[in-house]
Amino acid sequence: MTADPRRGLPSVDRVLAQLDGLPHDLLVASARAAIDAARERAAQGLATDPDAIVADARDRVAIRQAQLLRPIVNATGVLLHTNLGRAPIGDNALAAAVAVGRGYSNLEYQVEAGTRGSRHEHAGSLLAQAVGAEAGVVVNNNAAAVLLCLGALARDREVVVSRGELVEIGGGFRVPEIMSESGSRIVEVGTTNRTRRTDYERALSSETALVLKVHASNYRMVGFTETTPVAELAALGPPVMVDAGSGLLDETTPWLPGRPAWLADEPGVRQALTAGAALVTFSGDKLLGGPQAGVIVGQAELVATVARHPLARAMRADKMTLAALQTVALAYLDGDATRIPLWHMATTPIEVLQARAEAIVTSVPGVEVIDTEAVAGGGALPGLTIPSVGVSIETGAAGLASLRRAGIVARTEDDRIVCDLRTVAPNDDARLAAALAAL
Ligand SMILES: *Cc1c(COP(=O)(O)O)cnc(C)c1O
Residues 149 and 50 in one domain: no
pLDDT at 48: 86
Q: What is the whole-number distance in angstroms between the Cα of residue 216 and the centre of ligand 1? A: 10
Res. 7: pLDDT tops 80: no
Distance 15 CA to ligand 1 centre (A): 47
Centre of ligand 1 to C-alpha 87, Å, is: 13
State if residue 379 touches ligand 1 by the CB under 6 angstroms criterion: yes
Q: Atom 12, ligand 1: which residue's CA is nearest?
A: 245
Q: Kindly give the distance from the C-alpha atom of residue 77 to the centroid of ligand 1, in angstroms, as a whole number.
A: 21
Based on the domain organization, do 312 and 354 belong to the same domain?
Answer: no
Cα–Cα–Cα angle for 374, 90, 148, nearest 5°?
85
Residue 94 has pLDDT above 50, yes or no: yes
Pick the closest to residue 314 from 122, 141, 168 (CA basis).
Answer: 141
Write out the residue range of the structural domain in which residue 55 sits.
10-67
Any idea what the CATH number is for the domain that residue 247 is in?
3.40.640.10
Q: DSSP states of 309-322 as a string?
A: SHHHHHTBPPHHHH
78 and 205 housed in the same domain: no
Burial class (CB in 10 A: 0-12, 13-18, 19+), 305: middle
String of DSSP letters for 217-261 = TT----SS-B---HHHHHTTSSPEEEEEES----TT-TTSSS--G
Whole-number Å distance between alpha carbons of 169 and 245: 9
Index of the ligand 1 atom closest to the CA of residue 284:
7
Atom of ligand 1 nearest to the CA of 285: 7
Q: pLDDT band for position 254 (50/70/90)?
A: low
Ligand 1 within 6 A of CB of 169: yes
Q: What is the mean pLDDT of residues 159-175?
A: 87
Q: Which residues contact 311 (CB under 8 A, 6 or more apart)?
A: 147, 148, 151, 152
Question: From the CB of 281, is ligand 1 less than 6 Å away?
Answer: no
Give tens-digit pLDDT for 119-144. Answer: 988 999 999 999 999 999 999 999 99
Q: Is the CB of 165 under 6 A from ligand 1?
A: no
Mean per-residue pLDDT of the chain: 92
Q: Is the CB of 243 under 6 A from ligand 1?
A: yes
> What is the total count of domains within the chain?
3
Percent of the residues in the chain that have a pLDDT greater than 70, as a whole number: 96
Q: Do 316 and 348 sit in the same domain of this protein?
A: no
pLDDT at 219: 67
pLDDT at 348 over 70: yes
**pLDDT tens digits for range 37-56:** 999 999 998 888 999 999 99
Question: Which residues lie across from 189 on neighbouring strands?
Answer: 162
pLDDT digits (tens, 9 = 90+) for 301-338: 999 999 999 999 999 999 999 999 999 999 999 988 87
